[in-house]
Amino acid sequence: MAPQGIAEAALAGLRQELTGTAVAPGDQGYDDARAVFNGMLDRRPAVVAQCETEADVARAIRFGRDNELEIAVRGGGHSVAGMSSTDGGIVVDLGRMHTVIVDPASRAARVGGGATMSHLDRATQPYGLATTGGRASTTGVGGFTLGGGSGWLERKCGLACDNLIAAELVTADGETVHASADENSELFWALHGGGGNFGVVTAITLQLHSLPAMSMVMLLFRPEAGPEVVRAFRDFMESAPDEAGGGCIYLTGAPEPFVPEHLVGKLVCAALVTYTGTEAEARQVTEPLLGLGHDAEVISELPYAELQCMLDDPPGMRNYWSAEYLDSFPDEGVDAFCSRADTMPVPTGTQHVLFPMGGAVARSEADYPLPWRTAQWAVHPFGIWEDPADDVRGIQWVRDVRAAVRPWSQGTVYLNFIGDEGRGRVLAGFGEDNYKRLAAVKAKYDPSNVFRRNHNIKPLR
């Protein structure tokens, strides 16, 4: 039966015209098709169009418009705000369009609009090549890159969007448009942070980098050592080479062989350094941290694709995330950051993270709409829990972290790291001048704001 608002014949027509599959309520697999990463969001679309080709994407958009349905676009389904689903609308699901073609000669990869990090990393690894990817293997490359793209390699290789060479889009009118530095250059500029506002990206081409070796140094400490560890990590990163990335992370000690019994199920402070080089080099560089008196360590060289899976969480947990981007991080800031760890609900999936910025992220001279890239530090509390009864406490904790570090905040924010926090935060994500310029691009490619399930840029009137 066709869902309310869609004529039976129209749905039958869509089913027939798609190379992929249209899944509607009552169909087998509907619940799987509508599920997104954040278990807090339980939306029921009228139809999920599981697209396999560019023509499918154009057909699904047309179907949405003809039937006056809200259109959501889904890559990897990781939007914490749940932007890739809709109640009663159509989901243009790109998940089957995940082909990655690597050209080792030009060190570039053509990546399908629905590919995940694991599709990308597994395709590039055999060539000893990689590019900046998200820190979870199941994140969609599309949503990640179009929003900016922050990952372990960023201080060496730049943000993911800095590595964007070209994109292919289907616009709200169903037209195919190519964007690169030489073709539709204003649109190309807008795709460096402007997210899914301008069309459905069916493929992107990314610059790859040689990555002969990847290493990690992870040191675990009791939470009492946190302030000393975070200070030492801050001082270390301030003069660290671009090869070093990582973060300081408060989390619950997992029942893993490398976690000592006294830390399992307890709050742990971890100092993590990722290093684009050998284990011996990583040990040498991190010498100032190795003498801090840690309770446990993991120091090893490992395939990049394996590192990328290290923080993978199961889908379906309840997620509430936010972030603040800091201009400076004095001792008082460290104390404010660490004191919020003491109030973190434990045991939990929640993580309280400090990411170093700088390196190639800050050095870029590109004028892309990403004002937060000049920040020194990012504080990223991500609340993850299972029981709806913990919602109020979990959400409040994330908000309290933001409030605690706000005195040092730059006032900007990376929108991929936050949920739906209102219009002011979207403006903070781009800056006022960039927003106006993005709105002009939006007016050209999506004047009716068909693609509005995102950190939305309203078309310039």
Q: Whose Cβ is closer to ligand FAD: residue 124's or residue 197's?
A: 197
Q: Whose Cβ is closer to ligand FAD: residue 196's or residue 459's?
A: 196
Interface residues for ligand FAD in 193-232 (CB under 6 A)? 195-196, 200-201
Exactly one of 144, 189, 275, 430 binds ligand FAD (CB under 6 A); that residue is 144
Interface residues for ligand FAD in 148-187 (CB under 6 A)? 149-151
- Written as six digits, the tokens of 106 are 């030009």
Q: How far apart are CA 426 and CA 342, in angstroms?
A: 30
Q: Whose Cβ is closer to ligand FAD: residue 142's or residue 371's?
A: 142
Nearest distance in Å: CB 318, ligand FAD = 12
- Is 76 among the residues that bind ligand FAD (CB under 6 A)? yes
Peptide bond preceding 227 in cis form (omega within 30 of 0): no
For residue 238, which of 279, 281, 288 has the smallest C-alpha distance?
Answer: 288
Q: Whose Cβ is closer to ligand FAD: residue 39's or residue 347's?
A: 39
Helix or strand run (H / E) with residue 9: helix 8-17
- Is 135 among the residues that bind ligand FAD (CB under 6 A)? yes
Nearest distance in Å: CB 115, ligand FAD = 9
Q: How far apart are CA 316 and CA 330, in angstroms?
A: 37
Stretch in the footprint of ligand FAD (CB under 6 A) among 13-21, 77-85, 280-288, 430-438 = 77-85
For residue 117, which of 77, 85, 82, 81 has the smallest C-alpha distance?
Answer: 77
Exactly one of 33, 51, 56, 78 binds ligand FAD (CB under 6 A); that residue is 78
Q: Whose Cβ is closer to ligand FAD: residue 318's or residue 453's?
A: 453
Distance of CA 290 to the CA centre of its chain: 30
Cβ distance 15 to 22 under 8 Å? yes
Q: Whose Cβ is closer to ligand FAD: residue 131's or residue 232's?
A: 131
Q: How far apart are CA 192 and CA 443, in angstroms?
A: 17
Interface residues for ligand FAD in 81-110 (CB under 6 A)? 83-84, 94
Phi, psi of 115 (to 5 degrees): -70, 150
- Is 147 among the residues that bind ligand FAD (CB under 6 A)? yes
Exactly one of 113, 277, 356, 381 binds ligand FAD (CB under 6 A); that residue is 113
Q: Whose Cβ is closer to ligand FAD: residue 83's or residue 413's?
A: 83
Distance of CA 65 to the CA centre of its chain: 28
Q: Whose Cβ is closer to ligand FAD: residue 412's or residue 454's?
A: 454
Nearest distance in Å: CB 181, ligand FAD = 19
Q: Whose Cβ is closer to ligand FAD: residue 13's or residue 39's?
A: 39
Task: Please work out the total of residues on this chain that contact ligand FAD, with binding judged by CB under 6 A.
Answer: 34
Other beta carbons less than 10 A from residue 29's beta carbon: 11
- Is 349 among the residues that bind ligand FAD (CB under 6 A)? no
* Token pair 């990869």: residue: 109
Q: How far apart are CA 357 and CA 326, in angstroms?
A: 10
For residue 131, which of 148, 101, 109, 147 has the smallest C-alpha distance?
Answer: 109
- Is 142 among the residues that bind ligand FAD (CB under 6 A)? yes
Q: Whose Cβ is closer to ligand FAD: residue 22's or residue 418's?
A: 418
- Is 73 among the residues that bind ligand FAD (CB under 6 A)? yes
Amino acid at 420: D
Q: What is the three-class DSSP state of 268?
A: strand
Exactly one of 184, 205, 416, 434 binds ligand FAD (CB under 6 A); that residue is 416
Query: What letter does residue 3 receive in the DSSP assignment?
Result: P
Exactly one of 379, 454, 457, 459 binds ligand FAD (CB under 6 A); that residue is 454
Q: What is the three-class DSSP state of 25?
A: coil
Q: How far apart are CA 21 and CA 95, in angstroms?
A: 12
In SS3 terms, 161-207 reads as HHHEEEEEEECCCCCEEEEECCCCHHHHHHCCCCHHHCCEEEEEEEE
Q: How far apart are CA 101 and CA 123, in angstroms?
A: 7
Nearest distance in Å: CB 132, ligand FAD = 9
Nearest distance in Å: CB 280, ligand FAD = 27
Nearest distance in Å: CB 147, ligand FAD = 5
Interface residues for ligand FAD in 274-333 (CB under 6 A)? 313
Query: What letter does residue 263 receive in the DSSP assignment?
Result: G
Exactly one of 20, 140, 193, 381 binds ligand FAD (CB under 6 A); that residue is 140
Q: Whose Cβ is closer to ligand FAD: residue 225's or residue 354's?
A: 354
- Is 385 among the residues that bind ligand FAD (CB under 6 A)? no
Cβ distance 137 to 118 under 8 Å? yes
For residue 166, which of 183, 153, 151, 150 has the smallest C-alpha distance?
Answer: 183
User: Residue numbers of the site for ligand FAD (CB under 6 A)?
Assistant: 37, 73-80, 83-84, 94, 113, 134-136, 139-140, 142-144, 146-147, 149-151, 195-196, 200-201, 313, 416, 453-454
